[in-house]
């Protein structure tokens, strides 16, 4: 297995211990020759669209239809002078592209594309399906999205059309096909963005209900008894005698059958996925040398990201400061959450090996609860954070601040006069210059793909758990973050992966709170461990099958072949009266979920409960199985301290060196470059070892500062 080679090399480097290493040492260890070669191969296979030597391309949104045509040339010229390499058109321009049904006007867009090209700006073209023109809503009201309470959305905003409406799809495809015929063979267009932030719709349009029934007919082989079994409809007289009796589950009914809700959410995600996939295939009929992506909001549990197989890669949008203070210290609301971009990078990149960022905040936004000025330097910090994760492009939203419409108070690269560069605009200019300079220093980006720790993620687990939390203080994503945050403090490269990925690419795999499972998955885990993998499973894992039903077997026993544990029972405590778990003499607080375990003789007990009637019982176990190990964490701690210490203990056993970065400081590695980012409210001193060369910034990194060094 690949990682066995890596672990060996790592062990020789650090002589078997939990070392708190300097950044450069850890980075070097992650970039062994073997890894580089393997990863390089992957890059060539997975990213035909971008040139490694460019590191990243930087671009900016422009809406030609918002501005007097006489100003376009001035704007593109300025964009070019600031260093931007591409722009982004036609996102919300359906009304201008098809002013009347069947009458298309691309002449204005042709002129904009030509002027952009004059200033060396490539173009990302969009399909503008987020903003259907008014003639459509008036002539065909059946395309409008309907809420559960019966309200029908209307013209005058955006995103009011139903993806489940066959007519809406047909009208969209007609327009898209014309656009693709027109621009699909145009070398000035580098790629396409589908729709805008396509979300999963909870749409009560009649067409959605009919489509849901069709989805179920296909899934259950047209056999209503199969559906009744899957949904457990013997309970509360819920049985159906025909698919035609099934309606969309009402969210106001709090005791709605949750097996039905699972299928409904799968269906709802598939509607968005199919719409995007069909758009993409249509464009690809004409566009042979242009990539196609879309710009998702990183809402990880909507379940649609990565679900449209024909897309070339996935992109995301990210806004960092909007009033909710997720940052560190008094100025944190101006800097943002240290893991917000990192998590998106680590989630989007593994899907297809590369990703782009379609929207990044250039300054104040207009839609937050409080819209502060970013801290000077923060805009640049975010760009570096995106870059650090391995992205191929960064596009900022938007070039000009709008003078009318919903987003009047939204900053741009230039202000309301159309020419004065904003502070965020200057930070873009700086970043672009820095990247141009770095292009002289970097090597292949293959090294950053040599990621070594995976978090196995399936949105269906959080859907299922959220319906039956059992403890109001349980938070699925907070649970996952306890592990993620620890890994980032280790400086460990992390990939969020789906079950379709090859686990053996990673020496360590964590499957946190993975509630829905089946024999196939458990067998996959067993094979991974027996062949030398190190698996960490956490509480609530594999308790249910994929329909959300409990197997007719001892509770939680699906993973007994791995852990060897039996679960005596689980307990939940009041938050104001939490319990304690002890590991190696240290105490940790918990209350949300605790499993009282009965381990086999060959397992080590790492932590036990300290109170209640089960005092002394095991909470965390560790076991060797075949050539690998399985760690089972049956409890969720309050603040993640237990999770951190468990991972430290495990990594010591595995001879995997880790760093010990404070929360707020992250270190990433790509193209032979180490990148240290400081989101904390304190300056951070980075320990640069000999041989490494500082390229940008100094080892004294201020709040919102960045330090880049070459590890060659
Ligand atoms: C995004 C959206 C953009 C724009 C932006 C403003 O969520 O995709 O179209 O509205 O917000 O911050």
Q: 364-399: per-residue pLDDT in tens?
A: 999 999 999 999 999 999 999 999 999 999 999 999
Pocket test for ligand 1, best of 194, 360, 407, 424 (most atoms within 8 A of CB): 407
Pocket test for ligand 1, best of 62, 89, 366, 397 (most atoms within 8 A of CB): 397
What distance lies between CA 504 and its chain's CA centroid? Answer: 22
User: Could you tell me the distance, in angstroms and rounded to a whole number, from the CA of residue 360 to the centre of ligand 1?
Assistant: 9
d(CA 345, CA 342): 5
d(CA 392, CA 42): 15
Task: State pTM to two decimals.
Answer: 0.93
User: Could you tell me the distance, in angstroms and rounded to a whole number, from the CA of residue 35 to the centre of ligand 1?
Assistant: 38
pLDDT at residue 189 tops 50: yes
Q: How far is CA 318 from CA 128, 315, 383, 440, 502, in A?
A: 20, 10, 11, 29, 29
d(CA 435, CA 56): 8
Long-range CB contacts for residues 306-309, cutoff 8 Å, separation at least 24: 306/351, 306/352, 306/498, 307/269, 307/270, 307/272, 307/273, 308/273, 308/274, 308/276, 308/277, 308/280, 309/277
d(CA 126, CA 195): 7
163: number of CA atoms within 13 Å, CB side?
25
Q: Which of 643, 635, 579, 567 is nearest to 611 (CA)?
A: 579
d(CA 476, CA 358): 28
User: Could you tell me the distance, in angstroms and rounded to a whole number, from the CA of residue 703 to the centre of ligand 1?
Assistant: 27
In the block, tokens 């009318």 appear at: 404
Structure tokens belonging to residue 101: 């049904």
Q: Which of 671, 667, 705, 703 is nearest to 688 (CA)?
A: 667
Nearest CA to ligand 1 atom 9: 196
pLDDT at residue 44 tops 80: no
Round the average pLDDT of the chain to a whole number and report it.
Answer: 92
Q: Which of 488, 483, 469 is nearest to 631 (CA)?
A: 483
- Reading across the β-sheet that carries 665-670, which strands appear in turn? 665-670, 673-678, 706-710, 693-696
User: Could you tell me the distance, in angstroms and rounded to a whole number, from the CA of residue 197 to the centre of ligand 1?
Assistant: 8
- 397 Cβ inside 6 Å of ligand 1: yes
The reported pLDDT for the residue numbered 443 is 66
User: Could you tell me the distance, in angstroms and rounded to a whole number, from the CA of residue 475 to the centre of ligand 1?
Assistant: 27
Nearest CA to ligand 1 atom 6: 365
pLDDT digits (tens, 9 = 90+) for 426-470: 999 999 999 999 998 766 655 444 447 999 999 999 999 999 999
d(CA 101, CA 526): 58
Average pLDDT for residues 171-190, to the nearest whole number?
A: 98
Which band of pLDDT confidence, cut at 50, 70 and 90, is reported for residue 297? very high
The reported pLDDT for the residue numbered 691 is 86
Which band of pLDDT confidence, cut at 50, 70 and 90, is reported for residue 657? confident
Average pLDDT for residues 134-140, to the nearest whole number?
A: 98
Nearest CA to ligand 1 atom 10: 407
User: Could you tell me the distance, in angstroms and rounded to a whole number, from the CA of residue 193 to the centre of ligand 1?
Assistant: 14
User: Could you tell me the distance, in angstroms and rounded to a whole number, from the CA of residue 235 to the centre of ligand 1?
Assistant: 44
Nearest CA to ligand 1 atom 12: 365
- 462 Cβ inside 6 Å of ligand 1: no
CB contact at 8 A, 49 and 43: no
CA angle 116, 121, 126 (to 5 degrees): 80
- 359 Cβ inside 6 Å of ligand 1: yes
CB contact at 8 A, 692 and 710: yes
- 196 Cβ inside 6 Å of ligand 1: yes
- 545 Cβ inside 6 Å of ligand 1: no
User: Could you tell me the distance, in angstroms and rounded to a whole number, from the CA of residue 295 to the centre of ligand 1?
Assistant: 10
pLDDT digits (tens, 9 = 90+) for 325-349: 789 999 999 999 999 999 999 999 9
Average pLDDT for residues 289-306, to the nearest whole number?
A: 97
Q: How far is CA 368 from CA 106, 362, 409, 410, in A?
A: 35, 14, 11, 11
Which band of pLDDT confidence, cut at 50, 70 and 90, is reported for residue 712? low
d(CA 415, CA 413): 7
Q: How far is CA 390 from CA 19, 347, 485, 673, in A?
A: 26, 12, 19, 11
Average pLDDT for residues 473-484, to the nearest whole number?
A: 98
């Amino acid at each position: 297995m690949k990682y066995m080679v890596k672990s060996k090399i790592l062990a020789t480097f650090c002589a078997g211990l939990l070392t708190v290493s300097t950044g450069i040492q850890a980075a070097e260890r992650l970039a062994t020759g073997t890894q580089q070669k393997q990863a390089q191969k992957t890059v060539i296979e997975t990213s035909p669209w971008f040139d490694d030597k460019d590191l990243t391309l930087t671009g900016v949104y422009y809406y030609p239809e918002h501005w007097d045509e006489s100003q376009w040339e001035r704007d593109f010229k300025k964009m070019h002078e600031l260093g931007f390499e591409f722009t982004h058109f036609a996102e919300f321009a359906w009304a201008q592209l098809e002013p009347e049904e069947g009458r298309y006007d691309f002449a204005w867009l042709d002129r904009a594309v030509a002027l952009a090209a004059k200033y060396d700006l490539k173009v990302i073209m969009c399909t503008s399906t987020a903003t259907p023109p008014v003639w459509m809503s008036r002539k065909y009201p059946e395309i409008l999205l309907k809420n559960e309470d019966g309200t029908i959305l209307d013209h005058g905003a955006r995103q009011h059309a139903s993806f489940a409406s066959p007519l809406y799809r047909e009208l969209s495809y007609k327009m898209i096909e014309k656009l693709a015929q027109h621009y699909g063979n145009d070398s000035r267009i580098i790629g396409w963005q589908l729709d805008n932030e396509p979300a999963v719709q909870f749409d009560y349009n009649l067409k959605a209900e009919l489509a849901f029934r069709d989805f179920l007919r296909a899934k259950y082989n047209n056999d209503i008894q199969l559906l009744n079994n899957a949904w457990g409809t013997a309970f509360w007289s819920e049985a159906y005698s025909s698919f035609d009796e099934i309606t969309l589950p009402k969210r106001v009914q709090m005791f709605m059958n949750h097996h039905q809700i699972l299928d409904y959410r799968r269906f709802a995600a598939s509607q968005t996925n199919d719409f995007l996939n069909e758009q993409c295939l249509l464009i690809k009929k004409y566009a042979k040398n242009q990539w196609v992506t879309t710009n998702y909001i990183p809402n990880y549990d909507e379940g649609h990201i990565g679900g449209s197989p024909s897309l070339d890669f996935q992109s995301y949008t990210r806004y960092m400061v909007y009033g909710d203070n997720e940052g560190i210290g008094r100025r944190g609301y101006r800097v943002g959450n240290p893991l917000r971009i990192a998590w998106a990078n680590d989630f989007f990149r593994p899907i297809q090996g590369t990703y782009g960022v379609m929207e990044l905040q250039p300054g104040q936004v207009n839609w937050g609860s409080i819209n502060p000025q970013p801290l000077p330097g923060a805009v640049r910090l975010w760009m570096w954070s995106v870059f650090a994760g391995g992205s191929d492009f960064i596009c900022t939203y938007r070039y000009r601040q709008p003078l009318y419409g919903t987003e009047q108070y939204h900053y741009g690269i230039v202000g309301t006069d159309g020419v004065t560069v904003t502070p965020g605009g200057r930070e873009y200019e700086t970043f672009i210059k820095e990247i141009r300079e770095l292009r002289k220093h970097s090597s292949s980006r293959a090294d950053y793909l040599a990621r070594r720790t995976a978090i196995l993620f399936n949105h269906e687990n959080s859907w299922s758990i959220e319906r039956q939390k059992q403890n109001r203080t349980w938070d699925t994503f907070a649970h996952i973050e306890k592990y993620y945050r620890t890994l980032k403090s280790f400086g460990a490269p992390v990939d969020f992966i789906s079950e379709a990925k090859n686990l053996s690419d990673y020496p360590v795999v964590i499957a946190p709170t993975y509630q829905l499972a089946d024999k196939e998955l458990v067998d996959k885990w067993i094979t991974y461990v027996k062949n030398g993998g190190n698996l960490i499973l956490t509480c609530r894992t594999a308790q249910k099958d994929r329909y959300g039903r409990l197997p007719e077997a001892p509770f939680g026993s699906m993973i007994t072949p791995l852990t060897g544990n039996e679960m005596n029972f689980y307990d939940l405590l009041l938050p104001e009266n939490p319990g304690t778990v002890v590991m190696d003499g240290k105490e940790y607080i918990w209350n949300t979920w605790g499993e009282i375990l009965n381990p086999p003789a060959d397992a080590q007990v790492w932590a036990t409960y300290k109170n209640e009637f089960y005092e002394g019982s095991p909470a965390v176990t560790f076991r060797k199985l075949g050539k690998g190990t399985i760690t089972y964490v049956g409890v969720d701690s309050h603040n993640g301290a237990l999770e951190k210490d468990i991972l430290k203990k495990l990594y010591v056993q595995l001879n995997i060196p880790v760093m010990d970065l404070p929360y707020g400081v992250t270190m990433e590695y790509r193209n032979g470059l180490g990148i240290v980012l400081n989101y904390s409210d304190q300056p951070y001193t980075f320990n640069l070892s000999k041989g490494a060369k500082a390229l940008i910034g100094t080892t004294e990194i201020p709040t919102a500062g960045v330090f880049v060094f070459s590890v060659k």
